[in-house]
Amino acid sequence: MSKILSSETWERLRSSGARTVALQFPEGLKRRVPETAAALKEAGYAVIISGDPCYGACDLATDALSLADILIHFGHAPVDDRPGVIYEFVQFDFDPEVAEKATSLLNKDQPVGLITTVQHAHLTDKVAAVLEARGFTIVVGDGNARTPCRGQVLGCSYASARSAGTSQFLYVGTGVFHAIGVGLATGARVVALDPYTGFVQEADASRLIRRRFVQIEKARKAETVGIILSTKTGQRREDLARHLVSLSPVADIICMQEVSPDSLLNLGYDCYVNTACPRLAYDDQVRFPVPVLSPPEYEIVRGVRDWDDYIIDEI
Amino acid sequence: MSKILSSETWERLRSSGARTVALQFPEGLKRRVPETAAALKEAGYAVIISGDPCYGACDLATDALSLADILIHFGHAPVDDRPGVIYEFVQFDFDPEVAEKATSLLNKDQPVGLITTVQHAHLTDKVAAVLEARGFTIVVGDGNARTPCRGQVLGCSYASARSAGTSQFLYVGTGVFHAIGVGLATGARVVALDPYTGFVQEADASRLIRRRFVQIEKARKAETVGIILSTKTGQRREDLARHLVSLSPVADIICMQEVSPDSLLNLGYDCYVNTACPRLAYDDQVRFPVPVLSPPEYEIVRGVRDWDDYIIDEI
């Protein structure tokens, strides 16, 4: 059987009795669509493709699933697991010995929480063993419905870091976004290790905080505020949107599927509050024409939260 | 009461008993969102905005409506009228005497069918009177569920032209797209009059046909074909998509909300067939990386329709 799908997924497909299979790929893997569809058709299945943009398992292709018996969602671990969905996620290997590079920045006298993203989570125990062999005490926190793997974090959920409860963390993954998020969510010191290059750095949240405070100050002058309410399966926070809109008469709830710079520009509000994917405000502010605040940031603008209680937005 | 909404719409709102009103604007009118929301809130209504792109009443904001009691859809006449929706369309005035400019290109010995788009449909009788005063016989065809105004055409429906049944037409509106569509749908000669500039021209379908045949020829070499199935309320032609996908084993059905060049590029098919808004293939081909065929064009590629039976796609 084709290697385009894991043997476990082929087995789950067979045992499901499905005849029509919907396929959903994140943007970076979409090029695999035609060959994956061909392999499934060769195996006797009818296929429905989801062609909409997708950046996480919080955005399940319910439209495509409604035309099929089962949905295979590629590239992400489950977020609030739903019936009728098989998650085929992608694992990226690296040499666990790379963890040695991080030892100089970690304190051997205190336990180290180990955190990572889903594509590296299969190597968490091996990384822990490398560090334990060098005398470190390693704690791997449990996940939750949104982050099912041990030690896994998402840009919208740091539950496994809180669960570890350590005062220092090692984040294994590229970039510093997740590491900064863990620092903001837990107050702990976080060391970030790129598992491919071995580059180690301490995650510093202060630049993010400074940038966000600039946006908060700009938003104070807004005469119209759009509260964005996502229509995606795992990003739809209706109660939160209703709470935020109740804080001011100049705010309106805006339903959106995709939050794009063009859409925000066309709507013409002076400021937006993002209740969809938290990364939109933190990562994409430079692409947006006006301030796009997180819910806690907007609470600061409206005076129902103090600067000192700044927290990172999680779903 | 504010002039932001027509008195008729205020009256329908009052009599509906609605308390929460959803608002949907096409892209060109979206800047009116904040002031329209403010006027409704001042009148005591709660408001939910639809922030997604919208180019027609075939794309009703069902997500926003599900959070409200009623939806006001701005800028378009009803397409397959649905309960719970008020259509507030925009009328653009012009001087009906401009029709005199078209008389030199029309044949007085045969009846003239009069066609236009919804924003000018309120002046159809006045334009007819100007031409009748000059000795022309004018026929205005009935619309249908998709084009409710007399003489109205859409980029996806020329029913009112067929209903007129004349061998020549005067199209009053900007551009030549609708005029060419009427020509292809009826086989009649069509004169297009820009009501603002008075510019008159005969609509010539031959250039469009030549461009489309180039795309059809390119599509013959495609090894993978994506059949686009829209998830928008009035563009979802599931039976047609299933018919088209059955014509070849290399074709897959692709569900999409927005058909964008980026999405088609990412998916990586050699060719697409568009069962969503017909104008996507005819108007936007230059933006797309590979051929995007209409359903009848794809039937030609698959040998189930002759070149000689080329027809324009209508919903």
| Averaged pLDDT in 10-residue chunks for chain B of 315 residues | 79 95 94 94 96 93 96 91 88 95 96 95 96 97 92 94 96 93 94 96 91 96 97 95 96 96 94 96 91 98 95 93
Is the distance from CB of A139 to CB of A165 less than 8 angstroms? yes
Q: What is the pLDDT of residue B245?
A: 97
> Given B263, B264, B268, which is nearest A31 (Cβ)?
B268
**The pLDDT value given to residue A89:** 82
Q: Measuring CA to CA, which residue among B117, B100, B96, B119 is closest to residue B161?
A: B117
pLDDT tens digit sequence for B36-63 = 999 999 999 999 999 999 989 999 999 9
- Selected for mutation to probe chain B from A47, A62, A72, A252 (highest B CB count within 10 Å) is A252
Residue A60, CA atoms < 13 Å, CB-side half-sphere: 22
In CATH, the architecture of B7-88 is 3-Layer(aba) Sandwich (3.40)
Q: In this predicted model, what pLDDT tens digit does every residue of A4-30 receive, in sequence order?
A: 899 999 999 999 999 999 999 998 899
Chain A residues contacting B via beta carbons under 8 Å: 22, 27, 30-31, 33-34, 37-38, 41, 47-53, 61, 63-64, 67, 224, 226, 228-229, 231, 238, 249, 252-258, 262-264, 266-269
A18 Cα to chain B: minimum distance (Å): 17
Here the tokens at position A233 are: 């399966």
> Would strands A200-202 and A189-193 be described as parallel, antiparallel, or unpaired?
antiparallel
Residue A301 has pLDDT above 90, yes or no: yes
For B176-189, the pLDDT digits (tens) are 999 999 999 999 99
In this prediction, residue B1 carries a pLDDT of: 41
Looking only at Cα atoms, what is the longest distance across chain A? 61
Give per-residue pLDDT as tens, A70-98.
999 999 988 877 889 999 988 899 999 99
CB contact under 8 A, A255 and B228: no
Quote the CATH superfamily of domain B96-202: Diphthamide synthesis DPH1/DPH2 domain 2 (3.40.50.11850)
Angle at A8 between CA A7 and CA A10, to 5 degrees: 65
C-beta of residue B146 within 8 angstroms of C-beta of residue B87: no
Residue the block writes with tokens 């007819």: B128
Q: What class has domain B206-309?
A: alpha beta
Distance linking the first and last C-alpha atoms of chain B: 38
> Is A96-202 the same fold as A7-88?
yes
* Closest Cα in chain A, distance from residue B179 (Å): 30
pLDDT of residue A50: 97
pLDDT of residue A82: 85
The interface pTM score, or ipTM, of the predicted complex is 0.86
Select the residue of A31, A52, A67 nearest B257 (Cβ to Cβ): A52
The domain locations on chain B are 7-88, 96-202, 206-309
Contact B255 A63 (CB under 8 A): yes
DSSP chain A: --TTS-HHHHHHHHHHT-SEEEEE--GGGGGGHHHHHHHHHHTT-EEEEE-S---STTS--HHHHTTSSEEEEESS--SS--TTEEEE-------GGGGGGGGGGS-TTS-EEEEE-GGGGGGHHHHHHHHHTTT--EE-----SSS-STTB-BTTB-HHHHHH--SEEEEESSSSHHHHHHHHHH--EEEEE-TTT--EEE---HHHHHHHHHHHHHHTT-S-EEEEEE-STTT--HHHHHHHHTT-TTEEEEEESS--HHHHHHHT-SEEEE-S-THHHHHHGGGSSS-EE-HHHHHHHTTSS-GGG------
Residue in A143, A191, A133 with CA at minimum distance from that of residue A167: A191
Interface of chain B against chain A, CB under 8 Å? Answer: 22, 27, 30-31, 33-34, 37-38, 41, 47-53, 61, 63-64, 67, 224, 226, 228-229, 231, 238, 249, 252-258, 262-264, 266-269
Q: What is the pLDDT of residues A258-277, one digit of tens each?
A: 999 999 999 999 999 999 99
- Residue A1: what pLDDT? 41
Predicted pLDDT of residue B126: 97
